[in-house]
Structures are given as structure tokens and as C-alpha cells.
Chain A
């Protein structure tokens, strides 16, 4: 069980006190952690508070991380346990939450997943997906293929180079140009 080289390097820097490296880890995993926590808690503000708590607890315990599992796996455990503790605390104060009576895991209803976002947030998420998908469709074939092989098939640059019959440097450039083209459409939405 190993974690990817970029994460290992970032964690090592963060362990030495480099907050820029930790910021990079936060940015990389924040969307996945928020999505995960939204399965436990419905209120969007609570989700973001829990996500923030997760990253703060992770920083304070980062010295314990030895790279025996993927960094996200480690972070995932912290997020889930933070959420469960919060839910248990809320329940002691008589607040309803979504734990099922016969399980220790929350069972999200499909619609409830959508409920956690504010109307503005939902609109923005939908718009974001639409813009990204449109931008992907408009990409030149070679750029789209390179990015698809990387993101959907998980192929390495070397494998993509073999599939596409081009040098590794070209693959790197195509993937970057594809991301840049999509990003050009995405960035104004997020600013």
C-alpha cells in the first residue's frame, strides 16, 4: 500500500511545517472530502465546517502519517470519524440526524444528496459540469484523447504515448493544453 509520489513529497514537506505544501493537499482533496461529508450531514454550512475540522485535525496529527496507506485513505478516516462524532454529539442534544437505527453508517437518500447544497451552489455545480463537458467536446481530437486516457482510463504518460504513437513529451503537452483549454472556460465561473 503506497501513496503516490506527489502526495508523499507534499506530506513530507507539510510534516516539516511547509504550509504551502499542505495548502496544495487541501486543494487537491477538498472536493472529495466535502462530497464524502455531505453524505453524513445535510446542512451545507455544517458540511463545510466538518471539512474544515477534518483538515485541521489532519494537520495536527500529520506527524502520525507514515505513508503506509494512501494519504486520501488516511484523510478519509479522519473525515468519517469527525462526522460520526459530530452526529453523535448532535444526537445527545436531541437533534435528528441521518444514522439508521440498525447501522453505524448513515444511509443517504439519493435526493438528500442534492439537498445539501444551497440553490446557488447547486446551480453553480450544474453550470460547472455543463461548461466542462462542453469544453471537452470542443477540444481537438488528440488533446481530448490524451486527457481521456489519463483521467478515465488512468493510463500513465508512457502508456498513453504507446497508445497514441507519440513521444511522452507530446503526451504531457497535450494533456496540459487540454486542461488549459477547459480551464479557460472554467476559471471565470469560479472567480
Chain B
């Protein structure tokens, strides 16, 4: 395979347009060819500049440094993923809330009882429509809840910022048309851009309405 053919494969690979044996064949050629891998890296960079992502310059030897650090490692393992630590503000908020609620319950026990009853009623009202209401879908538009897709900034084990009731989610799963793979980078970029524009670090998890033709 010539250098130009390898670069062509790098281009198509980047676009995710190869499948099956053709994909395996192209990967065989690429993973053994540093020059073709460099081409793929630069093609990716071109795409990021075109999308206005303002990529930060990474020294060309960065991946070589990573691979050198992994030189003595065997096959990938099953090490647990790093867990983020909650920030200071979270702890402060929780402590203040606990102190306030303890003081409040001590002074006005009957009000606390009423608040508890109101909470139960509110939870009932919120849960009823999610379990029984029909799907809010129509035409070619599909509402995609991307709580799971948008990377959670909390540590694993904490509640996700958006959640669907299992009954609603499973009822919708059969109705949703399959989403084209190319929606993933689109949504990912959208969340990152949204975070940037709001001067918030990382990515804003959320829901997004998008439509695409269903064959």
C-alpha cells in the first residue's frame, strides 16, 4: 500500500466510513505506519479548527511520550477508574442545610411534619405523569435525553444530574429510531461549546432536541 493510499485510509477512518473487513484491513495498515497515524492526527486537527474549537497546540511528540511511558506495560488491565472528589462548596452547602433543618425541626415540630406531608404529595404528583403520560414525541423529531452521554462531572456513585424514570425510558426505547453515530460528536461538541460560552469548565449535561431523517 502506498503512502497516499494509507493517508486516504486515515481520512476515511477518521470519518468512520469503513466497516467490516475493509475497516480491519485499513487498521492493519495504519497501526503499523507512524506516518499514516500522523496524517490522521493532522486531519483531526484540521476538523477541529474548521469547527471553531480552537484546539490548543500539543507538541508532536506528545503521543510518543505517552507510548514511551507505556512501553513496559503489558496488556491493558482492569484498574478502577479515578474518582473525582466533591468540591468544598458541596460540603459547605450540605452542612449549612443540615444545621438549618435541625434547628427548624427543634423549634417547630408541627411545621416539619406538614413539610414532610407536602413533600410526599409533591413526589406523587411528579411521578404520576412520568409513569402514565404518552410519549412527547412527534414527526421526525426525537427527544434524546443525554444525561448518560454527557459525562457526569460528579464522582461515580452520585446521582446523575438528569434522570428518566425506568418505566418512561423503556417505553420510549422501542419508539426511538436509531440515532446516527455522527450525532455523538455533534452533541459532545454542543455541550462543550455551551459550557465554554457560559464560562463553565467541562461540559454541560442536559437534554437537546434534534431531528434527523429516518429511513
* Chain B interface residue number, banded: 35 or more
Contact across chains for A48 and B81 when beta carbons are under 8 A apart? no
**Which B residues are in CB contact (< 8 Å) with A170?**
none
**Which B residues are in CB contact (< 8 Å) with A102?**
89, 92-93
Contact partner of A9 (CB less than 8 A), chosen from B27, B67, B149, is B27
**Which A residues are in CB contact (< 8 Å) with B56?**
31, 34-35, 38, 47, 116-117, 121, 125
- 0 or 1 for each of A94-119: is its CB under 8 Å from B? (1 = yes): 00000111111111111000001100
The answer to whether B172 has its CB under 8 Å from any CB of chain A is: no
Using A85-B82, A151-B50 as known contacts, say yes or no to A56 and B66 having CB atoms under 8 A apart: yes
Least distance between B169 CB and chain A CB atoms (Å): 12
- 0 or 1 for each of B18-35: is its CB under 8 Å from A? (1 = yes): 110001100100111000
The answer to whether A93 has its CB under 8 Å from any CB of chain B is: no
Least distance between B76 CB and chain A CB atoms (Å): 3
Least distance between A103 CB and chain B CB atoms (Å): 5
Contact across chains for B48 and A31 when beta carbons are under 8 A apart? yes
Q: List 16 A-B contacts (CB under 8 A).
A: A21-B27, A22-B67, A23-B66, A24-B31, A27-B37, A31-B45, A56-B70, A76-B151, A77-B151, A80-B153, A81-B81, A84-B84, A124-B57, A125-B55, A151-B51, A176-B8
The answer to whether A52 has its CB under 8 Å from any CB of chain B is: yes
- 0 or 1 for each of A15-39: is its CB under 8 Å from B? (1 = yes): 1111111111011101110111011
**Which B residues are in CB contact (< 8 Å) with A82?**
82
Least distance between B100 CB and chain A CB atoms (Å): 16
Contact partner of B7 (CB less than 8 A), chosen from A147, A152, A176, is A176
Additional pairs, 10, CB under 8 Å, beyond known A13-B31, A47-B56, A59-B76: A52-B62, A55-B66, A61-B77, A78-B81, A85-B82, A105-B200, A125-B54, A154-B186, A157-B17, A176-B7
Contact across chains for B82 and A106 when beta carbons are under 8 A apart? no
A-B CB contacts (within 8 Å), total count: 272
Contact across chains for B27 and A13 when beta carbons are under 8 A apart? yes
- Which residues from chain A sit less than 8 Å from chain B, CB to CB? 1-6, 9-10, 13-24, 26-28, 30-32, 34-36, 38-40, 47-48, 51-52, 55-57, 59-64, 69-70, 72-73, 76-78, 80-82, 84-85, 88, 99-110, 116-117, 121, 124-125, 128-129, 132-133, 136, 147-148, 150-152, 154-157, 172, 175-176, 179-180, 182-183, 186-187, 190-191
**Which A residues are in CB contact (< 8 Å) with B58?**
30-31, 34, 48, 51
Least distance between B17 CB and chain A CB atoms (Å): 5
Contact across chains for B32 and A28 when beta carbons are under 8 A apart? no
The answer to whether B14 has its CB under 8 Å from any CB of chain A is: yes
The answer to whether B60 has its CB under 8 Å from any CB of chain A is: yes
Please, how many angstroms separate the alpha-carbon atoms of A190 and B60 in the complex? Answer: 7
Using A5-B16, A10-B27, A125-B55 as known contacts, say yes or no to A107 and B201 having CB atoms under 8 A apart: yes
